[in-house]
Amino acid sequence: MVRVIPPGSSQDPSHDGFRYWAFLSYSWADKRRARALHRRLERFAVPRRVRRPLRPGGPLSRRLRPVFRDEEEMAASGVLDERLCAAVDDSAALVLLASPDSARSRYVDQEVRRFVATRGTDRLVIVAIGEGGRSRPPLPESVRGLTGEPLWIDCRDDRGVGRRALVRIAAAVLGVDFDLLWGRHRRRRRKLLAGWTALALTVAGVVGVALWQRDLAQERSPDRQTAIFRDWYARDHGVSPTDPQVRISRIDDLNDDGLLDYIMDNGALGFCGSGGCGMDVYLTKSPGRYVSVLSLLGDTTPRVRTGRDGRKEIVVTQMTVDREPLYSVYTLHGEKYELRGYEFCDGLFFERCEPTFIQDLRYQDGFAVAPDASPVQRPQAGARPIEDLRAVSLQVAGVLPGGRWYLVCGTANADSGEAGFVPASSIRH
């Protein structure tokens, strides 16, 4: 077990208490080295188990602070003034920076002589600095021929006092066993290193995530997303990305995944005809990766709205009824938009009407239109016939609620063109 005698305790008869942990004695020529050692000593963290008060009844010291270092150049008188005498007497230990310059200094000699005269060599620490050599450096006269053996630490040829040497000095100042203090110091440094490493990794992770989020935000900005899509579309279709005929008719987030999706007008590629121009709908899997989910003909710009089930629907005019628009409603199922049915506004604007919904029957078998059927412009008795459909071969396109009226269109233009209504009596099952 390490025996610790706190300065100023009842077992230390030399003093009732101290003001400084140590007095740093050095030559003015070594002031740069002295300043560096002073700073490191006062920052030294004392392990919890060996903390002790500088004065009886005082707080346990977490640091070796204060350490006295005189910052005033000595006068030429060669006499140690009262201020320095009091500082030596008020210091628990004395640390001597031994060098050729300090060996010639009368002031250093007097400081060491005064300290040794009152407390011997137990708390005297000699730190050799300057050029190296096998022999001990020159020492002040007061140190030569001492009966006791002070602690001697060789730091010659080093740029400064190393970590191990610093712990040896601290152990002497505190009056504790070096091995105990060195072991605790190393454990503390390992914990600090682990903590700083964890902090560095955390900071690096946070910075990395922030940079990734910044890059992702830049990549997902509307302008950047659209520019990436234009470049991809131009390469995929063999057109120039700056061609004014490459037209995006609508941009929207159709599946609410945070990525913009695109409806392209293919009129520039020669896909326009009597039924309108070709349009393709592309869902974005990731910037630069796209999948076509709908290809259709239409003579108006498609609209996007949120349906009753919360999913976004595409509404486009593909057919007309006596020149009034009939709206085709497409809903996303999986990765394809499928026709849900038709809406007829009976001459009103799309934004203001309460449309009649017509269920799609185009691809269902078992329905035929009677040869004498006469399509009309409204699903009601007495409505005016549609002349353009009188001599046209017809097919069933959909059925209205209640099943009393059916939507029919010409077989030649099943996806576009003119449509009309016929009563259920004109349908053969």
Q: Which sequence spans correspond to the domains of the chain?
A: 22-176, 220-299, 302-429
Report the pLDDT value the prediction gives residue 74, as an integer from 0 to 100.
Answer: 54
Average pLDDT, the chain: 82
- Residues forming a β-bridge with 40: none
Rounded distance between C-alpha atoms, residue 87 and residue 104, angstroms: 21
Q: Please check the confidence at residue 396 and state whether its pLDDT lies above 90.
A: yes
Instruction: Show which residues are catalytic.
Output: 111
Rounded distance between C-alpha atoms, residue 69 and residue 24, angstroms: 5
**Predicted confidence band at 77 (pLDDT cuts at 50, 70, 90)?**
low
Report the pLDDT value the prediction gives residue 35, as an integer from 0 to 100.
Answer: 93
Question: Region 15-28: what's the mean pLDDT?
Answer: 85
Buried b (16+ CB within 10 A) or exposed e, 163-194: eebbbbbbbbbbbbebebbbebbeeeeeeeee
Q: CA torsion sign, 190 to 191 to 193 to 194?
A: positive
Better-predicted residue by pLDDT, 101 or 238: 101
Over residues 146-194, the pLDDT tens digits come to: 777 788 888 886 666 888 888 888 888 888 888 878 776 666 666 667 6
Over residues 24-48, the pLDDT tens digits come to: 999 999 999 999 999 999 998 888 8
Report the pLDDT value the prediction gives residue 26, as an integer from 0 to 100.
Answer: 93
Q: Please check the confidence at residue 297 and state whether its pLDDT lies above 50.
A: yes
Report the pLDDT value the prediction gives residue 299, as an integer from 0 to 100.
Answer: 58
Count of C-beta atoms within a 10 Å radius of residue 57 = 7
**Predicted confidence band at 139 (pLDDT cuts at 50, 70, 90)?**
confident
Q: Please check the confidence at residue 105 and state whether its pLDDT lies above 70.
A: yes
Report the pLDDT value the prediction gives residue 423, as an integer from 0 to 100.
Answer: 95
Report the pLDDT value the prediction gives residue 80, as an integer from 0 to 100.
Answer: 78
Report the pLDDT value the prediction gives residue 186, as an integer from 0 to 100.
Answer: 66
Q: Please check the confidence at residue 145 and state whether its pLDDT lies above 90.
A: no
**Phi (first) and psi of residue 305, to 5 degrees:** -145, 165
**Predicted confidence band at 266 (pLDDT cuts at 50, 70, 90)?**
low
**Predicted confidence band at 91 (pLDDT cuts at 50, 70, 90)?**
very high
Strand ranges inside 157-232, DSSP E = none
DSSP codes, 263-320: EEEGGGGT--BTTBEEEEEEEEEETTEEEEEEEEEESS--EEEE-TTS-EEEEEEEEE
- From residue 89, alpha-carbon distances to 115, 116, 118, 185, 418 in Å are 7, 10, 8, 29, 113
Contacts of residue 86, defined as CB under 8 A and 6 or more positions apart, other chains included, come to none
**Predicted confidence band at 13 (pLDDT cuts at 50, 70, 90)?**
very low
Residue 420 tokens, joined: 């009309």
Name which of 257, 255, 353 is nearest 310 in CA terms: 255
The SS3 assignment for 26 reads: coil
Among the residue ranges 1-15, 224-238, 353-367, the one predicted with the least confidence is: 1-15
Over residues 317-346, the pLDDT tens digits come to: 888 898 888 899 999 888 899 998 999 987
Question: Region 366-388: what's the mean pLDDT?
Answer: 90
Better-predicted residue by pLDDT, 403 or 10: 403
Report the pLDDT value the prediction gives residue 422, as an integer from 0 to 100.
Answer: 94
Better-predicted residue by pLDDT, 415 or 54: 54
User: Looking at the whole model, is its pTM more than 0.75?
Assistant: no
Report the pLDDT value the prediction gives residue 3, as an integer from 0 to 100.
Answer: 38
* % residues pLDDT > 90 (the chain): 29
Report the pLDDT value the prediction gives residue 111, as an integer from 0 to 100.
Answer: 93
Contacts of residue 227, defined as CB under 8 A and 6 or more positions apart, other chains included, come to none
Question: Region 357-375: what's the mean pLDDT?
Answer: 88
Class in CATH terms, 22-176: alpha beta
Rounded distance between C-alpha atoms, residue 178 and residue 164, angstroms: 10
Question: Region 374-392: what's the mean pLDDT?
Answer: 88
